[in-house]
Amino acid sequence: MSQSCDLPGMNVPRSRFPEPDTDLELPADAGEQRAVFGGGCFWCTEAVYLAVDGVKAVTSGYAGGAAETANYEAVCTGNTGHAEVIEIRYDPAKTSFGELLRIFFSVAHDPTQLNRQGNDRGTQYRSAVFYATDAEKQVAEAYIRKLDAAGVYDAPVVTTLEPLEAFYPAEEYHQNFAARNPFQPYIMAVAAPKMEKLRDRFGDRLKPEYNDDSV
């Protein structure tokens, strides 16, 4: 992981980000749902979503490649096809897939950077939504079109939509990394500013304990 990050797209204010026109249509008793997003270093995207009300669990991991190379050392070569991703388990009665997408595109990462996030470069850092159903794909496609049509960014969104063949949890030492290592240089340089943006833009959507700047 590099220790600096230049993500100009993340400077766009919340007011510029429209709500999705469509969202997943789920029955009232749908129960826990899952979303899998890739937005660069999973330490940082994990930290963002752990704070969102309605998110029950977040697991860092890998998607887009084979089981035998789903490990950090191999994925870091950029040659395995995997992306660093997070698996988000959420309560659809409290938050929605569309809401998670809005945070993904406005706070969690910069979706205009191709195969990189700041100084983290390689296909393993690509912006991607790994969809489990056609409905997820359609909601994500529609929202990307809306962002581009609205000119939210100065550059087009390059997020890929990829079928979720499998999710592989990352090694245990990667899980909840930011919370366990708040003073690690990369976390201070990259994750902490994202958390500040999250509080500033989506303070009304956070778990109460995450509205404290010390968290």
Q: Most distant CA pair in the chain: distance in Å?
A: 44
Q: What are the two backbone dihedrals, phi and then psi, of residue 154, each rounded to the nearest 5 degrees?
A: -80, -10
| 147, 153 contact by CB (below 8 A) | yes
DSSP state of 52: B
**Enzyme catalytic residues:** 41
Rounded Cα distance, 35 and 132, in Å: 8
Enter the tokens of residue 178.
């930011």
Q: In sequence order, what DSSP letters do the residues of 15-56 get, joined into one string?
A: GGSPPPS------TT---EEEEEEES-HHHHHHHHHTBTTEE
Q: In what order do the strands lie in the sheet with 167-169?
A: 160-163, 127-131, 33-39, 83-90, 55-63, 167-169
Relative to beta strand 120-121, strand 33-39 is unpaired
Residue identified by tokens 């790994």 is: 130
